[in-house]
Structure formats: C-alpha cells, structure tokens
Amino acid sequence: MNATICFIGAGNMAKSLIGGLLSSGYATSKIIATDPTEAQRQALTQHFGIHSYANNAEAAVLADIIVLAVKPQLLRVVCNELKDALTDKKRLIISVAAGIRSEDINHWLGGAQPIVRTMPNTPALIQTGASGLYANPAVSTDQKSQAEHIMRAAGLAVWVDEEDQLDTVTALSGSGPAYYFLFMEAMEEYAQTLGLDAKTAHLLTMQTALGAAKMVMESHQDCQTLRANVTSPNGTTERAIQHFEAAGLKQTVGGAMQAAYDRAKQLADELGGDA
C-alpha cells in the first residue's frame, strides 16, 4: 500500500497510528498531518519526520486517505472546512472520533463519501490497540483493506457489519482499558492496606495483569478454565471469588458496559444531526 495518508488533528490517537505505520515500514513521505497548534506540528517533524500543515483543506487535497482524529465536538467544524476540498468523493475518510455516526460525517462532507468509522483504544499508543471498524456502503474493497492496514499498524482490527455494533465496541474495548486500570488501582490500594509498600504492590499488580492477559492469549484455554486452575478447593481464591459473586461482580460489569453503550448513543444524538 502506498497511498498518501493525511491525519487531521495530531493528538494522541493520530500519533499512535502514525507511530504504528512508520514502525511497520510505511514511507515517511506518504504520511502528512495537520494541527492548529505549532508545538504539535513541531513534535510531528521531530519525532516522525513527516510534513505537517496548519490548514486542513490544503493538506487533505494532497492525500488519498484522510483520517479524522480531532475531538468529537470539533468534527462538524472540521468536516465543513474539508467539504469544498473533497468534491470528487474519491478519497477514503477514516474517522476515529468516538460516538459520531458515519451518516452525520457523510452529511457534513456533502454526501456520497466513502467513510470507515473506527473505534480504537489507547493501547494503540504501544501498538497493542484493539479497534472495531465499520464501512459505509460507498467504501470499496480496496479502501476496506487500506483502512484495515492503517488500524492494524496499531494492533488488532476487527470489522463489524452494523454501525450500531461500534457502540458495543466502545463499551468493550474503547473504554475497556480504563476498567482494567480501575481494577488494578483497587488491587494495589488494598495490597497496601494488607501491609505491602506501594512499589511492591504496584509491581505485583502489573505483572499479575500482564501474566493473566498473556495466559488468556497464549494458553488456548478459556477464562473459566484458567480461573478454575487458580482456584484450589476451599483455598484463598475460592473465598475471593465467592465474595465477588456475592457482591454481583458480573452484574456490576454489565451495568457499567450498558452505561457506556447508552452514553455512546447519547453522544451521537447530541453531536450529530443538523442541530
């Protein structure tokens, strides 16, 4: 693939994707980015050696693929700036903005636009991301492969058939890293209550999370079996699990994911449409 890719907005998510592409061997000359902040533009040149622009439309016309990586609240304004520059409708638009429907982006860009909407997550920063992707009907097979190539550079990329499923992806992998961080925070804090110093508690928590994730990925056993292997009859883990179950852990997790899912839909209603 040697398409020119233009990132609109050069914050954390754009930098993760750019970093991933460059480390996978993508040519520096084929990636450009825009940002109104001079410091961000300088950082791009210093870290990645790519060209950067202050003007979105000026940069967008130079590219085959445009990645919209600004905050969701700014997307409408940015699309308005790009609309007149993108009249040929050939370029693929990839949006990483949380909660903005492809239909709204299409409308803001003047219609008939190939759009892939994606929901990445922050581990993309270390090329261990997980992204869900949805393509609108105007996206060609080649453009689908291009979008997948870009998102794969930052980790796992999976397609969903219905755009609604991206709200589930948001509640799962989009917000998910924060769930694990919270759980780790709670473990670390209580280990200190039980007598460990902060550093030891932190190290053991991190390594336990990493070990558990690696076992799930590499052992080819399901979570239930792996859990059973840790749980000796009448032992310590059994007591802890009984406590989680009595406290309704699965219902709590379900309730939290439902709240994230509902908020994703609400955001799309608040930020989208013609209002």
Ligand X SMILES: NC(=O)C1=CN([C@@H]2O[C@H](COP(=O)(O)OP(=O)(O)OC[C@H]3O[C@@H](n4cnc5c(N)ncnc54)[C@H](O)[C@@H]3O)[C@@H](O)[C@H]2O)C=CC1
Ligand Y SMILES: O=C(O)[C@@H]1CCC=N1
Binding of residue 9 to ligand Y (CB under 6 A): no
The entry of ligand X, ligand Y, none that residue 153 binds, CB within 5 to 8 Å by partner kind? none
User: Of 65, 172, 77, which is closest to residue 120 (Cα–Cα)?
Assistant: 172
Tally the C-alpha atoms within 13 A of residue 258's C-alpha that lie toward its C-beta: 6
Q: Give the number of residues in contact with ligand Y, rule: CB under 6 A.
A: 4
34 binding ligand X? (CB under 6 A): yes
Comparing CA positions, the residue from 32, 100, 36 lying closest to residue 64 is 32
First CA to last CA distance, the chain:
39
* 170 makes contact with ligand Y (CB under 6 A): yes
CA distance 14 to 22: 12
Q: Which is nearer to ligand Y, 50 or 268 (CB)?
A: 268
130 binds ligand Y (CB under 6 A): no
| Tokens (6 digits) for 192 | 């200190």
- Residue for token digits 């300088």? 42
Give me the numbers of helices (H) and strands (E) for the chain, helices first please. Answer: 12, 8
Q: How far is the CB of 172 from ligand Y (least distance, A)?
A: 10
User: How many whole angstroms separate alpha carbon 203 and alpha carbon 211?
Assistant: 12
Answer yes or no whether residue 155 interacts with ligand Y by CB under 6 A. Answer: no
- CA dist 129 and 3 (Å) reads 22
Nearer to ligand Y, 20 or 176 (CB): 176
Figure out which of the listed residues 5, 6, 9, 44 binds ligand X, where binding follows CB under 6 A.
9
Per-residue binding letters, 171-190, with ligand Y (x by CB under 6 A): ---xx---------------
167 in contact with ligand X (CB under 6 A)? no
Size of the site for ligand X (CB under 6 A): 27
Residues at the site binding ligand Y, with contacts judged by CB under 6 A: 98, 170, 174-175
Residues at the site binding ligand X, with contacts judged by CB under 6 A: 8-14, 34-37, 40, 56, 69-72, 74, 78, 96-98, 119-122, 174
